[in-house]
Amino acid sequence: MTTQTVTMGKALNLGLHRALADDDKVVLMGEDIGRLGGVYRITDGLQAEFGQRRVMDTPLAESAILGTAIGLAYRGYRPVVEIQFDGFVYPAFDQIVSQVAKMHARTRGLVKLPITIRIPVGGGIGSAEHHSESPEAYFAHTAGLRVVSVSNPQDACTMIRQAIASDDPVVFFEPKRRYHVKGEVDDALDLAAAPPLGAARVARPGTDVTLVTFGGLVQTALDAAAAAEDEGTSIEVIDLRSLSPVDYDTVAASVRSTGRVVIAHEGPREVGIAAEVAQTITERCFHFLEAAPVRVTGHDIPYPPSKLEKHHLPDLDRMLDGVDRVLGRTRVSA
Amino acid sequence: MTTQTVTMGKALNLGLHRALADDDKVVLMGEDIGRLGGVYRITDGLQAEFGQRRVMDTPLAESAILGTAIGLAYRGYRPVVEIQFDGFVYPAFDQIVSQVAKMHARTRGLVKLPITIRIPVGGGIGSAEHHSESPEAYFAHTAGLRVVSVSNPQDACTMIRQAIASDDPVVFFEPKRRYHVKGEVDDALDLAAAPPLGAARVARPGTDVTLVTFGGLVQTALDAAAAAEDEGTSIEVIDLRSLSPVDYDTVAASVRSTGRVVIAHEGPREVGIAAEVAQTITERCFHFLEAAPVRVTGHDIPYPPSKLEKHHLPDLDRMLDGVDRVLGRTRVSA
Amino acid sequence: MPETVRLLDENGVRIPSPQWDPLIDDLDEAALADLYEDMVVLRRIDAEATALQRQGEIALWPPVYGQEAAQIASGRALRRDDFVFGSYRETGVAYTRGIDPVEIARVWRGAAASAWNPYEFHMATAQVIIGAQTLHATGYALGIQNDGSDQVAVTYFGDGAMSEGDVSEAMIFAATYGAPVVFFCQNNQFAISEPVTLQSKTPLADRPVGFGIPSVQVDGNDVLAVTAVMRQALQRAREGGGPTYIEAVTYRMGPHTTADDPTRYRDPAELELWGKRDPISRLRTLLETSGLDGPELEARAAAAADRVAAAFRAGVQNMPDPEPMSVFDNVYAEPHHELDRQKNEYARYLEGFAS
Amino acid sequence: MPETVRLLDENGVRIPSPQWDPLIDDLDEAALADLYEDMVVLRRIDAEATALQRQGEIALWPPVYGQEAAQIASGRALRRDDFVFGSYRETGVAYTRGIDPVEIARVWRGAAASAWNPYEFHMATAQVIIGAQTLHATGYALGIQNDGSDQVAVTYFGDGAMSEGDVSEAMIFAATYGAPVVFFCQNNQFAISEPVTLQSKTPLADRPVGFGIPSVQVDGNDVLAVTAVMRQALQRAREGGGPTYIEAVTYRMGPHTTADDPTRYRDPAELELWGKRDPISRLRTLLETSGLDGPELEARAAAAADRVAAAFRAGVQNMPDPEPMSVFDNVYAEPHHELDRQKNEYARYLEGFAS
Ligand SMILES: Cc1ncc(C[n+]2csc(CCOP(=O)(O)OP(=O)(O)O)c2C)c(N)n1
Ligand SMILES: Cc1ncc(C[n+]2csc(CCOP(=O)(O)OP(=O)(O)O)c2C)c(N)n1
Ligand SMILES: [Mg+2]
Ligand SMILES: [Mg+2]
């Protein structure tokens, strides 16, 4: 085992590198991913090493990136597509929803589309309009796709390899605000031995409240749990990792023991991921619930200008406020 | 008051006619809507009467239809756009999500986009792939849009007029399977006196279970309620009419009295409308709930070939099964 | 804009062309008679399908009627291992690939989401989203290029499709990478009710030129010309010359689908005019002129059409409905616990009725 | 492809043109000196913004550096009631419309989602989704047409945008309806790191021709030529002649935005080459040749730039942060009970901290 301490961005780079090295059917496609190495440098150095056919700078057209990835997959390739920012995935929505998601069912399993759609996601980075979106719910609602969101360097490295290895299309969310955070990474981990792509993770055990989140908010949830502990509340933090399907066994087991659940995400609340998780948990754990599940989410508004994003994004205080609400307390804030 | 008995399709035609006659800023745009009058003849005769500038056959490009509608709205027009079938809205998704939904907030209210996006929706019509989709959740999740779904001729006629009159963009779903069903329609109803666009309607009062649905399934729910009455169960049927925002006052009032709620729709379950309605009701009525809210929905699959659509779509039996489940009974079917 | 390539005029008279003739000099009478038979069979499949639709055996059918030469000649020009990505109106192309029309009807009957095995026939299943397949073909062509193969990807689409952003993007990608793909546009003059003049005031074949793609307009009702231009395009792609666009100018003699009523929007005089440009009778005249026995030719083709039609009808009528629980199949390639759960729930629900 | 229109060469020497000169014969020295000053001021705004970004006053800035002639000359050619739909890199065009650069910086500071009032300046606020605005302009032009007005809609976009399906669709719609819209493409050779050759191997100005739209390529660093072609295009649109495409060939001398490092992908020799084609010094030479006092001209422009820069800097530095609760404003034009509820919840939550 060879571990190194790297940022999450570098961990993704290592994972992509290994996928390219392991399987010559893997090709990377996207805007500015080749010579520049991507605006976040996630693909840095890969074109130089693997050449322009394996790491393709494409013309500026997202629908075409997905559409040609489908054709490549049709021929046996495993395309890994980068959407430059979350807000630029919508021009490709038709190809994703009507083609990528439906092809395997349409062809009765004859045509597999092992396409990985990498999307830098979410806010908290002080960026411009369309650069801080959280479109996870659109994809989780779409049958035929798998949707994951990574929260730390080791998961980023392992899960990108698993996503590429999966015979299903995977929408792979990378929270931008975590790109620069470092951690220990073994980029040669045996994929079969690693937790499967669909498994949630108890990021911190606790007994009073279950706090479910994913991606960029996992660290916030851990911080909230640490803060709550000082106040005498024990929070179990679950990192969903997979948003579709959700690993409900892990979530339900926790809620059966705590009786209370808070679900947090950056994306809008209405018909969002938290609604789904909350209702499914209500269905499966109704008699264990001491209180209605609480959602701590972005508001139902277009992403605000960055000076105001802190008033949109769930932070430690809003998570603790949610915890208080699910505990039936009215929080008196610091 | 001048009422006539017409199909829901004709009721829409009458509503569009009145909107065109009342306001010369109203323009209709879409594929085959002019000379042909639309594949469902909803715009039949309108081009002949109002001319090619008011009722425009457009080139075959959905993104452009929405994009140019935005430009027209920018200049003070009130475009009514027809998407030929539910499955063809995705090429326009970017313009809808990134422009239509966000423009008013982006420009601090300076630019209004009173665009109505008409979408024939749903299954049960024995049609081909992409012709029976239920994409409501994608739009209800999108802040900045209003989303409605009509279930009967009078609502169709009145609500299309209200949608066009609204200064907000409205995604207007028309369940295809109801186009041919007739009812009494007054197409000159005073819009101010009519129930507002956002209001739900108790379609049938009842005491044991609240059955919430919309669009094409309202009649099914009424039939289920009638059948259940014979078995001694009193179902209150709520026609949501507006999917975003949902009129939770009406739904919550019902659930507070029944203690049990079933939500039914054709679209996929995961992160669907029913998840949102269920969770919001759980939040607002937790202590009134005798059982977890039950969802009766399409499966999380691509819409199946039409010979199998009856195994995907909620029907009377599946609704009654849901009612039994929320009542804690195990249904013994006929 | 180059002129429209035409090698056989509307009256079945051969128009010699030093440029194009060498590309079809192997097309002897036997080969032409085969093309004739293919077209007759195809027209019969359409007629049979239309009848089956009227009888309620299938829900819908999009006829190829009028476009037989465009589809048969271009399809026959392909090598077996070339790969086709078409729309929903490519019965003729599918026929040239050896695909059983029963499989096509399976979809229109609502018994399957798609039909044949794409890898068996080197043809993707039908695409309903207008223009989407042009990108798939371009991507497939990039794969061919990566593999160093001399196969060609061929995409079929309509005049209406030319307006969809996807089709422009496909040409842009194909041009940028010099991908071995042929864009075969059947300009049948209509997108449902909309005349092609609504998609463009200028010839559609001008567009690819703007993207840097060689473009040729061809009389789509002329088997010889279609064969020639298609062979040239394939050859160019095989030799690394990149994409070509072909616009086959033809006419949709039937309705958009069996659900359509073209009398609402179509000029009868136009229909009559195009009826005189029929691809089948034109070829028949040529064959007769070159000495073949017309009635014999016709009888042989009719016999073949009868055989195909009978098998087609029988296949459709005997088609079983799919299994209810199959709605859950193949949504994912790998295990999916949540969908399994839904599947089990629904199975239990169905069992409730059995008991 | 017609040749590139150029009326002022790289050394500031006037190239006479019987075709184009009549379109600019009113441009006397005073008018040219104004254009010169505009360009100097614009370059200064860029420099100031870049400094403000370094100082953390704004988060990001997309410089126009190098593209001054393309934006100033085309913007100055517009009538006040023409309506502009641009991208995020149109500081110069906005300047010609009278828009305060402070408003532009407000957005890049993250203090507002958009800046000025579109109806006050007849210019839509910045568009970040590449190419989307070309459709808005086309739709607006359809409205102009309906109204029987002789206004023109003008859309600005980049070489990279030419690949997005929306831009092709916009040209298709504009051509079909003969909409009074000018497509103004600033080919600054790059889409972030990607050279224009990745978007197209052939000249971008060929594409509109394929859509049936008159197309002209112009030296984008030549104020005279840009003025001439823009005036012609506007005139055509006003007279009912429909859309025109203009490709202004220029160069992005700076980074894509202040966050970009162009040394990773750009050839220094190319940069140097384009530095010699500078639009400002070229015009200055012309003015000097025609007898104007260079240093005086420069001093006057510098003074104007100083004034604008000082006001700009002060405006940005004194910009207040927006109100927290304003995130809920204007999501809808009409009352929305659910959002009001969320707003009230959040207000109560914030009040909790105050207590
Ligand atoms: C994205 C999309 N929009 C709309 C439709 C509805 N539709 C089906 S066929 C058709 C016309 C297609 O015309 P053309 O491309 O000329 O092909 P043809 O039917 O003439 O073969 C339309 C608008 C669709 N299938 N997909
Ligand atoms: C739909 C979309 N995809 C990707 C991006 C990211 N992006 C921002 S600017 C840019 C390059 C644009 O190049 P060009 O059109 O030439 O304009 P320029 O920046 O050179 O002015 C890209 C890819 C975006 N903003 N929108
Ligand atoms: Mg057609
Ligand atoms: Mg550029």
Confidence of residue C355 (pLDDT cuts 50, 70, 90): low
Residue nearest atom 3 in ligand 2 by C-alpha distance: A88
Pocket of ligand 2 (CB under 6 A): A 31, 60, 62, 84, 88, 91; D 89, 128-130, 157-161, 188, 190-192, 252, 256
- H/E segment holding residue D221: none
C9: left (phi over 0), alpha (psi -120 to 50) or beta: beta
Distance from CA of D112 to the nearest CA of A (A): 5
Binned at pLDDT 50, 70 and 90, residue C223 comes out as very high
∠ CA D293-D295-D300 to the nearest 5 degrees? 95
Q: How many residues does chain A have?
A: 334
Distance A31 CA to ligand 2 centre (A): 9
B130 Cβ neighbours under 8 A, 6+ residues apart: A98, B85, B86, B87, B88, B303, C128, C129
Are D124 and D84 within 8 A, CB to CB?
yes
Q: In what order do the strands lie in the sheet with A55-57?
A: A55-57, A26-30, A78-82, A116-121, A170-175, A146-149, A242-244
Above 0.90 for ipTM, yes or no? yes
The arithmetic mean of pLDDT across residues B115-144, rounded, is 98
Ligand 2 pocket test: pick from D61, D135, D192 the residue with the most ligand atoms within 8 Å of its Cβ.
D192
The string of pLDDT tens digits covering residues C260-316 is 999 999 999 999 999 999 999 999 999 999 999 999 999 999 999 999 999 999 999
- Using the CB atoms, write b or e for D35-54: b if 16+ within 10 Å: bbbbbbbbbbbbebbbebbe
D191 C-alpha to ligand 2 centroid (Å): 6
Distance from CA of D222 to the nearest CA of C (A): 25
Mean pLDDT value across residues C20-29: 97
**Angle in degrees, CA C61, C65, C68, rounded to 5:** 120
Name the phi and psi angles at B222, rounded to 5.
-65, -40
Distance CA C155, CA C245 (A): 10
**Which ligand 1 atom minimizes the distance to the CA of C187?**
16
How far does the CA of residue A306 sit from the closest CA of chain B (Å)?
13
Q: Which residues of chain A have pLDDT under 50?
A: 332-334
| C59 interaction partners in chain B (CB closer than 8 Å) | 126-128, 306
- Asked if residue D242 lies in contact with residue D236, where contact means CB atoms within 8 angstroms, the answer is yes
- Please list the alpha-helical segments (H only) found in chain D: 29-54, 68-76, 91-96, 101-108, 118-121, 132-147, 165-177, 196-199, 206-210, 223-238, 268-275, 279-289, 294-317, 337-354
Question: Cβ(B308)–Cβ(B216) under 8 Å?
Answer: no
Q: What is residue D308's three-state secondary structure? A: helix
Q: Using the structure block, give the residue that is written with the tokens 């996503």.
A: A163
**Confidence (pLDDT) at C2:** 60
Amino acid at C305: A
Whole-number Cα distances in Å, B45 to B187, C254, D33: 17, 24, 58
> Are D189 and A31 in contact, with CB atoms under 8 Å apart?
no
What's the angle, vertex CA C126, arms to CA C121 and CA C127, rounded to 5? 135
Please identify which of the residues C252, C277, C282, C313 carries the catalytic annotation.
C252
Asked whether C260 lines ligand 1 (CB < 6 A), one says: no
Please give the full DSSP string across A122-177, using - where no structure is assigned.
---S---TTSS---HHHHHTSTT-EEEE--SHHHHHHHHHHHHH-SS-EEEEEEGG
Give D247's contacts in chain C (Cβ within 8 Å). none
Query: Tens place of pLDDT for every residue, chain D, 355 residues?
Result: 568 999 999 999 999 999 999 999 999 999 999 999 999 999 999 999 999 999 999 999 999 999 999 999 999 999 999 999 999 999 999 999 999 999 999 999 999 999 899 999 999 999 999 999 999 999 999 999 999 999 999 999 999 999 999 999 999 999 999 999 999 999 999 999 999 999 999 999 999 999 999 999 999 999 999 999 999 999 999 999 999 999 999 999 999 999 999 999 999 999 999 999 999 999 999 999 999 999 999 999 999 999 999 999 999 999 999 999 999 999 999 999 999 999 999 999 999 987 6
Tens of pLDDT, residue by residue over B12-53, are 999 999 999 999 999 999 999 999 999 999 999 999 999 999
Following CA atoms D206, D210, D212, D214 in sequence, which dihedral angle do they give, to the nearest 10 degrees? 0
Helix (H) or strand (E) holding B282: helix B273-285
Per-residue pLDDT, averaged over B165-174, amounts to 98
pLDDT digits (tens, 9 = 90+) for D102-122: 999 999 999 999 989 999 999
DSSP-H helix ranges across chain A: 8-22, 46-50, 62-74, 93-94, 103-106, 136-140, 153-165, 218-230, 248-258, 273-285, 316-326
Ordered strands of the C215-219 beta sheet = C83-85, C153-158, C181-187, C244-249, C215-219
CB atoms inside a 10 Å sphere around CB A60: 28
Cα(D336)–Cα(D332) distance, rounded to whole angstroms? 7
B324 lines ligand 1 (CB under 6 A): no
Residue in chain B lying closest to A96 (CA) = B90
pLDDT of residue A108: 96
Instruction: Kindly state the tokens that stand for A197.
Output: 């792509």
The minimum-distance atom of ligand 1 relative to the CA of C132 is 1
Would you call D336 a catalytic residue per the annotation? no
pLDDT at A333: 45
Q: In this complex, which chains have at least 3 CB pairs below 8 Å with chain A?
A: B, C, D
- CA–centroid distance, D130 to ligand 2, in Å, is 5
Q: What is the rounded radius of gyration, in angstroms, for the C-alpha atoms of chain A?
A: 20
Q: In this structure, which ligand is nearest to the CA of D256?
A: 2
Looking at residue B334, what is its pLDDT? 38
Please indicate if any CB of chain B lies within 8 Å of the CB of A106.
yes
Instruction: Determine the distance separating the centroid of ligand 2 and the alpha carbon of B30, expressed in angstroms.
Output: 29
Give C160: exposed, middle or buried? Use CB within 10 Å, 0-12, 13-18, 19+.
Answer: buried
CA distance B216 to chain C (A): 21
Query: What pLDDT, in 10s, does the model give residues B230-243?
Result: 999 999 999 999 99
What pLDDT does A2 receive? 81
H-type helices in D278-319, by residue range?
279-289, 294-317
Chain D residues within 8 Å of chain B (Cβ atoms): 83, 85, 112-114, 117-119, 124-125, 129, 132, 134-147, 153, 165-166, 169-170, 172-173, 176, 329-334, 336-339
Residue B181 has pLDDT above 60, yes or no: yes
Tell me the mean pLDDT in the region B195-199.
97
Q: Rounded to the nearest whole angstrom, what is the distance from the C-alpha of residue C130 to the centroid of ligand 1? A: 5
Candidates B106, B292, B302; nearest CB to A143: B302
Are A77 and C143 inside 8 Å of each other by CB? Answer: yes
Q: Across-strand partners of B33? A: none
- pLDDT score of A86: 98
Report how far residue A23's alpha carbon sits from residue C35's, in angstroms, rounded to the nearest whole number: 44
C124: alpha, beta or left? (left if phi > 0; alpha if psi -120 to 50): beta
pLDDT of residue D3: 83
Whether the Cβ atoms of residue D242 and residue D211 lie closer than 8 Å to each other = no
Contact A105 C330 (CB under 8 A): yes
Interchain CB distance below 8 Å, B168 and D334: yes
How far apart (Å, rounded) are the C-alpha atoms in residues C184 and A216? 47
B334 in contact with chain C, both atoms CB, cutoff 8 A: yes
Between chains, do D210 and C212 touch, taking CB under 8 Å as contact?
no
Q: What is the mean pLDDT of chain D?
A: 97
Give residues with Cβ within 8 angstroms of C84, minimum separation 6.
C75, C78, C90, C93, C97, C122, C123, C124, C137, C153, C154, C155, C156
Q: Say what the pTM is.
A: 0.98
**Chain A residues close to C172, C-beta within 8 Å:** 59, 61, 64
Chain C touched by A226 (CB under 8 Å)? no
Alpha-carbon distance of B79 to B100, in angstroms, equals 12
Beta-strand runs (E) in B144-234: 146-149, 170-175, 182-186, 201-204, 209-213
Residue D158's closest CA among D190, D123, D132?
D190
Mean pLDDT, residues C147-161 taken together: 98
Which residue is catalytic, options A131, A141, A287, A312?
A131
- By the CB < 8 Å criterion, does A48 face chain D? no
B to D CB pairs, distance under 8 Å: 139
Span A180-190, pLDDT tens digits: 999 999 999 99
Question: Which among A64, A77, A105 is the nearest to C172, CB-wise?
Answer: A64
Q: Does A198 touch chain D (CB under 8 A)?
A: no
The nearest CA of chain A is from the CA of B287 a distance in Å of: 9
C352 CA from centroid of ligand 2 (Å): 57
Q: Of the residues C54, C79, C265, C341, which is catalytic?
A: C265
CA of C192 to the centre of ligand 1 (A): 7
A227: its two tokens: 């803060």
pLDDT at B144 over 80: yes
